[in-house]
């Protein structure tokens, strides 16, 4: 606009000069005519001279006029070229200005400083406000703001007039659709010569303010969590930590009231630790609900007064619009509950709910550590008292230690003597057994020889010889059993193992015991042995073990009865189920058995049974059930009793 005004002024001056040059010859001609008329009146001139002067004067005037027009043509041509160049510059400047205005990354507005009318706006400004350019041209600057921001707008205008520029970040602008946004405005007063305009840059700060608020809230949340942790180090009193934590949480979420209850131990009622702006009636109601159902407080829960629940209804009766329950946990165990009360229904974001859950865990961890610290102090005091008692008893302990050493020396001597006597016993039994074998062999051989010659002897003599032979054989078996027990007690001898199938082995044993079974009209039934696998075992040992068990069953089974033998494969879990019974007979078996599988064999008769109090004793050497008068040397007679070595040998061989 200023450039166009300069062009107009320059063009006007050139027209004035051209107009002056057009009338100059005429004025000169008139002046010369007047001079000639004056000269003729004073001194009359000839007519020809007057005509010549007029002709010369007219020629001079025509020459001057031609020169003037030629010069004027050159000036006008130069002016036209200059005007065209200036118009091109104006168009280029206008395009550049428009490009800069439209290409700006922010909304730009140009207002008239006197009237306040909008003169220019770029595309970003129209998109930001939602108005078209025609609508904006009819609006004043104050019309773009929310009515509540007019005071701030007037302050901005006053600052602009006084300083020439003004800035504001917290103004709320109103779009065409009625929505609001926070804007940052930078205004500058510009003087264009003939007028003053205000150049404004407007930025949408809504997201930035929201981000700042989120950052501030996160910083405050982290500060609260940090204060909970550091509070214990600065002040080990748990009540102070709880009070500060509740206060900061209430300030952060603008709560009107709050409480912290901790669960009691072993069914005790919840304990109120901290309370702010909550009536005693509501405090007791919250404690009652926590005691009645602590599981319902394991998650963050927001209850409104209109929900109809008793706790929410109780809070509503006190004037609270909503009640928020926050679990206080330590190692996934509920140890307390924090409650926040708001006068109106408070809505939390997902991030805020997660933060409240984190506060509960952090506070629970601090409470747990404080309790552990208190328990540690108590144990430390107890340890100091115990140490003092220990110091008092140290003298008695030293005296007892001396006596203990003396007693240990006596025990060691007694053990040595016991071992010596045990060796003497074994040597004596071995010697007696060995010395018995030779005469017994002679007696048995002589008796058998005489029996072979029985035809020459009488009937009574033959019976006596049979009795001598049977007694000798029985005595020899007894000596062999004693030698076997001596070797078992000393863990002597080696096993000669081979593959054995239990059913085939027991069938052979059944064949060996056929005379005894037939004499008692008894049978042996083998159950569930076909599917059992082969196992490694010493046949001699197995024959002795199962022979003693079957003979024992034959003796204590009634006439015509049945003996049942069953077997199955068992693993460690099955053995563990019977650990109480197994520990009675061999306490170390389950410790040594490992993860291997075992073959369990059961020999069952249906006789008179064994009393429970004597079931362990029957496997001891020389142990007899009942009175000694029932002692018998028979192998198969009903309820006959031997020397008490058979089951002891079985137990030793199995072990």
- Three-class SS of residue 372? helix
Read off the tokens for 258.
Answer: 């709050």
Kindly list the strands in the beta sheet with 271-276, ordered across the sheet, starting from the edge strand earlier in the chain: 271-276, 257-262, 333-342, 322-330, 301-304
What's the pLDDT at 628?
Answer: 41
Closest C-alpha to 173, from 194, 198, 142: 142
pLDDT of residue 439: 66
Q: pLDDT at residue 92 above 70?
A: yes
pLDDT greater at residue 430 or residue 323: 323
Whether 251 contacts 336, CB under 8 Å = no
Please tell me the distance from the alpha carbon of residue 523 to that of residue 2, in angstroms, as a whole number: 138
* Tokens 């140490």 -> residue: 387
Q: Are 272 and 261 in contact (CB under 8 A)?
A: yes
Collapsed DSSP state (helix, strand, coil) of residue 255: coil
The tens digit of pLDDT for each residue in 508-557 reads 888 888 888 888 889 888 888 888 898 888 888 888 888 888 888 888 88
- Residue 62's contacts (CB-CB under 8 Å, 6 or more residues apart) are 25
Q: Is the domain covering 235-348 a CATH 3.30.450.40 domain?
A: yes
Segment 619-636 shows an average pLDDT of 54
**The pLDDT of residue 10:** 47
Residue 238 has pLDDT above 70, yes or no: no
Task: Identify the residue whose tokens are 């008793």.
Answer: 310
- Per-residue pLDDT at 630 exceeds 60: no
- Give the residue, 217 or 264, on which the prediction is more confident: 264
Q: What is the pLDDT averaged over residues 419-425?
A: 68
Mean pLDDT of 132-146: 81
Question: pLDDT confidence of 12, banded at 50, 70, 90?
Answer: very low
Residue 270 CA to residue 287 CA, distance in Å, equals 6
Q: Which helix (H) or strand (E) covers residue 322, if one does?
A: strand 322-330
Which one has a higher pLDDT value, 603 or 34? 603
Closest CA to 116 of 156, 167, 163, 170: 156
The CATH class of 104-204 is alpha beta
C-alpha distances (whole Å) from 368 to each of 235, 264, 329, 561 are 15, 13, 9, 70
Which residue is it, tokens 């939390």? Answer: 348
Phi/psi of residue 343, nearest 5 degrees: -70, -30
Choose which CATH entry (3.30.1020.10, 3.30.300.30, 3.30.565.10, 1.20.58.1030) describes domain 495-654: 3.30.565.10
Among the residue ranges 6-20, 34-48, 326-340, the one predicted with the least confidence is 6-20
> What kind and span of H or E run contains 258?
strand 257-262
Specify the higher pLDDT residue, 142 or 638. 142
* Residue scoring higher pLDDT (118 or 308): 118
Separation of alpha carbons 416 and 412, rounded Å: 6
Place of tokens 């006439």: 559
Residue showing tokens 């509540």: 148
pLDDT value, residue 165: 86
Residues 6+ apart with CB under 8 A from 278: 257, 258, 259, 318, 339, 341
Pairing of strands 271-276, 257-262: antiparallel
Residue 122 in this model has a pLDDT that exceeds 80? yes
Residue 434: band (very low, low, confident or very high) from pLDDT cuts 50, 70, 90? low
Quick one: pLDDT band at residue 464, thresholds 50, 70, 90? low
Tens of pLDDT, residues 345-392: 888 888 888 888 888 887 888 778 777 877 888 888 888 888 888 888
């Amino acid at each position: 606009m200023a450039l166009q005004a300069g062009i107009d002024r320059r063009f006007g001056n050139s027209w004035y000069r051209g107009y002056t040059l057009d009338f100059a010859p005429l004025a000169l001609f008139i002046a010369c005519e007047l001079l000639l008329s004056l000269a003729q009146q004073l001194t009359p001139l000839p007519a020809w001279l007057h005509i010549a002067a007029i002709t010369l004067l007219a020629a001079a005037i025509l020459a001057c006029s031609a020169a003037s027009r030629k010069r004027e043509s050159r000036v006008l041509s130069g002016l036209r070229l200059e005007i065209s160049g200036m118009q091109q510059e104006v168009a280029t400047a206008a395009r550049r200005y428009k490009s800069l205005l439209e290409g700006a990354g922010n909304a730009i507005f140009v207002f008239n400083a006197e009237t306040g009318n909008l003169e220019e706006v770029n595309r970003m400004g129209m998109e930001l406000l939602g108005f078209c350019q025609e609508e904006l041209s009819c609006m004043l600057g104050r019309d773009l703001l929310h009515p509540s921001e007019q005071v701030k707008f007037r302050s901005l205008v006053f600052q602009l007039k006084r300083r020439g520029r003004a800035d504001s970040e917290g103004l709320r602008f109103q779009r065409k659709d009625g929505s609001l946004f926070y804007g940052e405005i930078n205004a500058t007063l510009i003087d264009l010569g003939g007028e003053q305009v205000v150049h404004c840059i407007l930025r949408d700060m809504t997201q930035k303010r929201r981000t700042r608020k989120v950052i501030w809230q996160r910083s405050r949340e982290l500060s609260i969590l940090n204060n909970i942790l550091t509070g214990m180090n600065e002040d080990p009193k748990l009540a102070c930590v709880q009070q500060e934590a509740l206060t900061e949480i209430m300030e952060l979420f603008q709560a009107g009231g709050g409480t912290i209850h901790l669960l009691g131990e072993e069914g005790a009622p919840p304990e109120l630790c901290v309370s702010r702006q909550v009536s005693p009636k509501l405090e007791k109601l919250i404690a009652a609900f926590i005691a009645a159902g602590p599981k319902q407080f394991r998650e963050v829960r927001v209850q409104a007064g209109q929900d109809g629940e008793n706790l929410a209804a109780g809070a509503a009766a006190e004037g609270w619009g909503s009640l928020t329950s926050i679990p206080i946990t330590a190692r996934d165990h509920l140890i307390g509950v924090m409650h926040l009360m708001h006068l109106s229904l408070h809505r939390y974001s997902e991030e805020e709910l997660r933060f409240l859950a984190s506060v509960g865990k952090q506070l629970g961890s601090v409470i747990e550590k404080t309790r552990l610290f208190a328990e540690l102090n108590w144990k430390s005091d107890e340890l100091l008292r115990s140490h003092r008692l220990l110091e008092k008893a140290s003298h008695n302990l030293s005296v007892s230690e001396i006596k203990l050493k003396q007693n240990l020396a006596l025990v060691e001597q007694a053990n040595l003597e016991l071992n010596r006597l045990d060796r003497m016993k074994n040597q004596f039994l071995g010697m007696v057994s060995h010395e018995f074998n030779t005469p017994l062999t002679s007696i048995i051989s002589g008796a058998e020889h005489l029996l072979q010659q029985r035809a020459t002897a009488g009937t009574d003599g033959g019976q006596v010889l049979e009795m001598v032979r049977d007694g000798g054989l029985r005595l020899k078996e007894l000596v062999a059993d004693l030698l076997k027990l001596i070797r078992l007690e000393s863990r002597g001898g080696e096993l000669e193992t081979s593959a054995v199938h239990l059913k085939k082995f027991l069938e052979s044993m059944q064949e060996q015991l056929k005379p005894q079974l037939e004499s008692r009209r008894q049978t042996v039934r083998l159950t569930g042995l076909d599917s059992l696998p082969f196992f490694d075992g010493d046949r001699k040992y197995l024959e002795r073990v199962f022979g003693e068990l079957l003979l024992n069953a034959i003796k204590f089974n009634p006439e015509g009865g049945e003996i049942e033998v069953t077997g199955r494969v068992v693993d460690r879990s099955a053995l563990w189920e019977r650990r109480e019974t197994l520990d009675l007979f061999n306490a170390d078996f389950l410790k040594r058995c490992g993860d291997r599988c075992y073959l369990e064999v059961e020999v069952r008769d249906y006789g008179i049974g064994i009393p429970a109090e004597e079931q362990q004793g029957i496997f001891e050497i020389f142990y007899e059930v009942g009175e000694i008068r029932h002692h018998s040397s028979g192998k198969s007679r009903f309820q006959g009793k031997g020397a008490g070595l058979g089951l002891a040998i079985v137990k030793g061989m199995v072990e």
